[in-house]
């Protein structure tokens, strides 16, 4: 099984901050930090078996989409050497129009 490097795009870091802020408002900083750490750890596991999720070539060539704990939608691409995490959308956000 091929191991790939996992790269987070700059917008993904901004998404993590937004997710943290959303959760912190209702559940506190400890819960928010733990959630974002779990999300990041989940993404880092894409280094193996990288070609997971659903292909969404209709939106962008090579785009893949998967979920995390039924609350986050993760958008990513896979190359020969890397997995690039493009975005992480929280709470049922309507993300498809953002790709248009």
Largest CA distance in the chain: 41
This prediction has a pTM of: 0.91
pLDDT digit string, tens, across residues 1-19: 789 999 999 999 999 999 9
Alpha-carbon distance of 69 to 39, in angstroms, equals 9
pLDDT surpasses 80 at 100: no
Which CATH number does the domain housing residue 30 bear? Answer: 3.30.2310.20
Task: Report how many domains make up the chain.
Answer: 1
Task: Write down the pLDDT at residue 94.
Answer: 78
31 — pLDDT class (breaks 50, 70, 90): very high
CA separation for the pair 5, 69 (Å, rounded): 23
- Residue 41 is given by DSSP the state H
Buried b (16+ CB within 10 A) or exposed e, 44-79: eebeeebeebeeeeeeeeebbbeeeeeebbbbbbbe
Q: Residue 37: its pLDDT value, please?
A: 98
Domain hosting residue 17, numbered range: 5-99
> Whole-number mean pLDDT of the chain?
93
Q: What is the three-class DSSP state of 79?
A: coil
């Amino acid at each position: 099984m091929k191991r790939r490097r996992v790269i987070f795009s700059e917008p993904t870091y901004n998404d993590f901050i937004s997710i943290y802020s959303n959760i912190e408002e209702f559940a506190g900083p400890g819960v928010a930090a733990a959630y974002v750490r779990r999300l990041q750890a989940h993404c880092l596991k894409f280094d193996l078996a990288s070609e997971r999720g659903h292909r969404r070539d209709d939106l962008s060539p090579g785009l893949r989409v998967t979920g995390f704990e039924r609350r986050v939608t993760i958008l990513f691409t896979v190359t020969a050497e890397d997995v690039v995490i493009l975005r992480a959308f929280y709470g049922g956000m309507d993300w498809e129009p953002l790709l248009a």
